[in-house]
């Protein structure tokens, strides 16, 4: 094992030359070079797919054909009892640090961070990442794809950048910072600099392909420039997280395959899983939630929609896996695959039930409690998966994708939210090709596994900071011994108040909320939650609750959970979801702070919602100082959001315009009657919010040079977030367009934008009540 316990390693002492008159020919010195990796250290590749679920991949008996996963599994090992945290950011933080997610401040996603120690969303410096440790031991490092570990207030041109990928141990980064991304119109960063894709959907662009292109180019460059230096590649796809975006030919591969529905799919998947040996022969299907309809109870419209959603999910998943195959092929062509420790995580949590009972054409609506009408969605059937959609599938499919286990993403109490497939491929270090490994393991075990394979000891000090103990346990002991006794005997789980603990085959769990319900726990105390008990040595799918038969065992495990919760900063429990996405309500650091007016100059772009004034649920004004050239101007002055929700102040046909886009359901537009004359102008939009709750309506009044030129009544507004993947941009509308008055990519203002000022006005009645039902009624009435 490498003896580097302190990173970076100290610089070598410089020799002291005392003789006078000696020239360079009289001295022999060692050349200075980079830190060298331990002798024989292998390359490392970690690939993560998103929102997949244990029963999704064909490598684990699922319906999504994944030839690359099968290829790697057939040449390596399938782990059948591998666990994650039930949500995106926490799993990724645990993977990168080898510590439990609350112990490193990531008790929920970065967008749900609070001021509580286990939920800050800020990685402590006492928990250096896997990338930083490998980098400090002579590895070249690069990350591609989804990051989702940086505090939102730090995702801006002013940083700080030490918790961006390039500040956490990666030499290179190409990808996105948010929880999800539009795969047709992504907003990407290279390092810390915003970049635009070189092509568009109509040119054949897709994000999954782009990420692999960059990963392949990077590895080829490393092998050319530094063939003696091992590399670490982290490739985190946006697939199969919403939005489910894929070209029609990939959907067509599954046409008709899901017409039998989710109940039938559970049965066939379980049969395949037993044949593969990834679940024991005596495994039963776990209970079905009462609130989710069975397939045979659906009308033809819902069945047609449901089948298309699942065809899209499967095509999206297969497409990503096939792209990964190109990366594997590149490693093979370079002669590097044989000595690469390749870990393929088939999910960072269980499949997502956030699509609700019906699924949706636009995910953001469901995030605000709005349910699309199935009949209306059916008229857009052929758009699902394309650039005009932002879809997520119904919860019935999520339950099927988690076969044979109960529940879904967010539900850390049950295996449906926390168990995923893991494939480990390393021909130089694993001889049991195609083997199964049934030991209990957790995502915190990835870091110590990789370090042991590389011959590296976890550092005790990194960048001058003493390191907290690694919580994970290396899995390398299982590589050569399929029957090895478990070394991970205990593991706690918690997410959004759902909690559980595993200990030596027993699981004690309690589900506090339901992911597809908007306000599932209102008025419910954690003390009222009912605990269940399962003996997974005889009941591997948690199908039979035996709490009544073993009260003493349940009490013992509950006490163990409490002890783990105290030790890892799980307490106090917090079951808020959407409310925590507002920094003021969550109590986390707010970059705008108490400022009520912010002025932007120049080409300010790619600002996420948490770094700009929050105009939601309040009166506000947007004031722009512009110059119109001779011949007139066109394009966007300032915009926030995109096709599925937001607002824009722009010029169309030479006339000043403002639009408010309500979830893509309705666009409220006001236009000046006459074109702007050449010269300097002030454009101003005043939004008078009705008050009295969140998501209320208001009136938008447009002014040119202090003269009213029109107004529009907005019946309802977006209360919590416009988008996770779109931004605030001055002088252009990046990503998808807020309005159909201008096109994506070709909408930059043709004049000059000197300044844009956003004012938050008093007297807005910023109520914080989550009036979801009232919002639903107002939106549906306006639509």
User: What is the pLDDT, as a whole number, of residue 596?
Assistant: 95
User: What is the pLDDT, as a whole number, of residue 23?
Assistant: 65
d(CA 64, CA 648): 40
Give the helix/strand (H/E) hosting 316: helix 300-333
Question: 3-state class of 252 per DSSP?
Answer: helix
Question: 3-state class of 768 per DSSP?
Answer: coil
The model's pTM is: 0.95
Both tokens of 722, joined, read 């416009």
User: What is the pLDDT, as a whole number, of residue 505?
Assistant: 98
**Strands 655-662 and 645-652, sheet pairing:** antiparallel
User: What is the pLDDT, as a whole number, of residue 10?
Assistant: 83
E-assigned strands of 191-230?
Answer: 193-195
User: What is the pLDDT, as a whole number, of residue 777?
Assistant: 58
Residue 548: pLDDT above 60? yes
Spell out the domains of the chain, with CATH numbers in brackets. 46-478+486-494 (3.40.720.10), 495-581 (3.30.1120.10), 592-782 (2.60.120.200)
d(CA 126, CA 215): 29
| 151 vs 26, more confident | 151
Q: Which of 26-30, 377-381, 413-417 has the lowest mean pLDDT?
A: 26-30
**In the structure, what pLDDT confidence band is assigned to residue 369 with cuts at 50, 70 and 90?**
confident
User: What is the pLDDT, as a whole number, of residue 587?
Assistant: 84
Percent of the chain topping pLDDT 90? 88
Both tokens of 61, joined, read 């008996």
Taking residues 286-298, report their average pLDDT.
Answer: 97
| 139 vs 23, more confident | 139
User: What is the pLDDT, as a whole number, of residue 765?
Assistant: 45
The predicted-structure confidence for 220-259, as pLDDT tens digits, reads as follows: 999 999 999 999 999 999 999 999 999 999 999 999 999 9
The predicted-structure confidence for 375-404, as pLDDT tens digits, reads as follows: 999 999 999 999 999 999 999 999 999 999
Taking residues 313-331, report their average pLDDT.
Answer: 98
User: What is the pLDDT, as a whole number, of residue 769?
Assistant: 52
d(CA 270, CA 284): 8
The predicted-structure confidence for 663-681, as pLDDT tens digits, reads as follows: 999 999 999 999 999 999 9
Taking residues 329-337, report their average pLDDT.
Answer: 98
Taking residues 81-100, report their average pLDDT.
Answer: 98
User: What is the pLDDT, as a whole number, of residue 367?
Assistant: 85
User: What is the pLDDT, as a whole number, of residue 418?
Assistant: 98
Q: Which of 65-79, 252-266, 561-575, 756-770 has the lowest mean pLDDT?
A: 756-770
The predicted-structure confidence for 204-225, as pLDDT tens digits, reads as follows: 999 999 999 999 999 999 999 9
Percent of the chain topping pLDDT 70? 94
Residue found by looking up tokens 């009036």 in the block: 771
Task: Indicate the average pLDDT of the chain.
Answer: 94
Residue 481: pLDDT above 80? yes
Residue 767: pLDDT above 50? no
Taking residues 16-43, report their average pLDDT.
Answer: 76
E-assigned strands of 446-556?
Answer: 461-462, 465-466, 490-495, 498-503, 506-510, 532-535
CA angle (327 as vertex; 322, 333 as ends), nearest 5: 120
CA within 13 Å, CB half, 381:
14
The predicted-structure confidence for 35-71, as pLDDT tens digits, reads as follows: 899 999 999 999 999 999 999 999 999 999 999 999 9
The predicted-structure confidence for 169-203, as pLDDT tens digits, reads as follows: 999 999 999 999 999 999 999 999 999 998 999 99
User: Quick one: residue 67, left, alpha or beta (phi over 0 = left, psi -120 to 50 = alpha)?
Assistant: alpha
User: What is the pLDDT, as a whole number, of residue 520?
Assistant: 44
User: What is the pLDDT, as a whole number, of residue 368?
Assistant: 87
Do 529 and 512 touch, CB atoms closer than 8 A?
Answer: yes
d(CA 25, CA 38): 33
| 304 vs 724, more confident | 304
Helix, strand, coil % over all residues of the chain, rounded to 5: 25, 20, 50
Q: Which of 25-34, 333-342, 467-476, 523-532 has the lowest mean pLDDT?
A: 25-34
Residue found by looking up tokens 């035996």 in the block: 546
Taking residues 345-373, report their average pLDDT.
Answer: 94
């Amino acid at each position: 094992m490498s003896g580097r316990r302190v990173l970076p390693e100290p610089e070598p002492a410089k020799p002291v030359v005392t003789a006078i008159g000696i020239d360079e020919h009289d001295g022999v010195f060692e050349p200075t070079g980079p830190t060298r990796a331990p002798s024989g250290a292998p390359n490392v590749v970690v690939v993560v797919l998103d929102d997949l679920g244990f029963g999704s991949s064909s490598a684990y008996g699922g319906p999504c054909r994944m030839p690359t996963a099968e290829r790697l599994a057939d040449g390596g090992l399938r782990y059948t009892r591998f666990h994650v945290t039930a949500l995106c950011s926490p799993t990724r933080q645990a993977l990168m640090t080898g510590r439990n997610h609350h112990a490193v401040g990531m008790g929920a996603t970065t967008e749900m961070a609070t001021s509580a120690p286990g939920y800050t969303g800020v990685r402590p410096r006492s928990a250096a990442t896997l990338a930083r440790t490998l980098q400090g031991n002579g590895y070249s490092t690069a990350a591609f794809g989804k990051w989702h570990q940086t505090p939102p207030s730090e995702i801006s041109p002013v940083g700080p950048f030490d918790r961006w990928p390039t500040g956490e141990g990666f030499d290179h980064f190409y990808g996105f910072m948010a929880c999800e991304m539009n795969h047709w119109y992504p907003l990407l960063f290279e390092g810390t600099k915003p970049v635009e894709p070189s092509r568009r959907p109509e040119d054949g662009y897709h994000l999954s392909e782009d990420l692999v292109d960059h990963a392949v180019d990077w590895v080829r460059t490393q092998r050319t420039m530094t063939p003696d230096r091992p590399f670490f590649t982290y490739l985190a796809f946006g697939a199969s997280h919403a939005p489910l975006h894929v070209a029609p030919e990939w959907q067509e591969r599954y046409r008709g395959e899901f017409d039998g529905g989710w109940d039938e799919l559970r049965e066939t998947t379980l049969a395949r899983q037993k044949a593969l040996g990834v679940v024991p022969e005596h495994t039963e299907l776990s209970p079905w939630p009462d609130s989710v309809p069975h397939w045979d109870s659906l009308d033809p419209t819902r069945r047609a929609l449901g089948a298309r959603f699942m065809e899209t999910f499967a095509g999206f998943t297969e497409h990503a896996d096939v792209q990964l195959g190109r990366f594997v092929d590149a490693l093979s062509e370079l002669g590097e695959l044989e000595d690469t420790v390749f870990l393929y995580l088939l999910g960072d949590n269980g499949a997502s039930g956030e699509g609700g009972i019906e699924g949706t054409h636009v995910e953001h609506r469901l995030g605000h409690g709005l349910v699309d009408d199935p009949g209306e969605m059916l008229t857009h059937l052929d758009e699902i998966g394309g650039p005009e959609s932002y879809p997520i599938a119904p919860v019935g499919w999520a339950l099927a994708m988690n076969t044979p286990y109960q529940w879904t993403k967010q539900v850390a109490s049950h295996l449906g939210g926390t168990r995923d497939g893991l494939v480990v491929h390393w021909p130089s270090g694993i001889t049991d090709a195609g083997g199964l490994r049934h030991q209990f393991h957790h995502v915190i075990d990835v870091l110590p596994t990789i370090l042991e394979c590389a011959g590296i000891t976890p550092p005790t000090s990194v960048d001058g900071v003493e390191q907290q103990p690694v919580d994970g346990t290396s899995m390398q002991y299982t590589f050569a011994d399929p029957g090895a006794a478990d070394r991970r005997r205990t593991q706690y789980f918690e997410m959004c108040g759902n909690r559980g603990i595993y200990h030596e085959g027993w699981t004690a769990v309690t589900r506090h909320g339901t992911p597809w319900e908007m306000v599932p726990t209102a008025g419910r105390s954690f003390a009222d939650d009912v605990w269940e008990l399962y003996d997974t040595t005889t009941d591997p799918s948690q199908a039979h609750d035996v709490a009544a038969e073993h009260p003493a065992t349940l009490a013992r495990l509950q006490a163990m959970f409490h002890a783990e919760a105290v030790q890892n900063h799980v307490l106090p429990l917090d079951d808020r979801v959407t409310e925590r996405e507002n920094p003021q309500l969550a109590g986390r650091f707010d970059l705008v702070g108490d400022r009520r007016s912010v002025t932007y100059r120049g080409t300010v772009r790619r600002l996420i919602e948490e770094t700009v004034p929050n105009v939601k649920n309040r009166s506000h004004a947007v004031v722009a100082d512009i110059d119109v050239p001779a011949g007139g101007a066109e394009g966007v002055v300032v915009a926030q959001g995109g096709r599925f929700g937001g607002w824009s102040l722009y010029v169309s046909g030479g006339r000043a315009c403002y639009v408010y886009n309500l979830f893509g359901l309705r666009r409220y537009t006001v236009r000046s009657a006459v074109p702007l004359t050449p010269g300097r102008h002030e454009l101003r939009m005043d939004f008078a919010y009705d008050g009295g709750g969140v998501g209320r309506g208001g009136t938008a009044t447009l002014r040119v040079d202090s003269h009213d030129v029109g107004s529009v009544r907005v019946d309802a507004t977006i209360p919590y977030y416009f988008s996770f993947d779109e931004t605030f941009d001055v002088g252009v509308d990046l990503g998808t367009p807020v309005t159909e008055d201008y096109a994506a990519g070709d909408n930059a203002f043709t004049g000059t934008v000197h300044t844009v000022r956003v004012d938050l006005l008093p007297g807005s009645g910023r109520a914080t009540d989550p009036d979801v039902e009232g919002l639903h009624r107002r939106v549906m009435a306006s639509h």
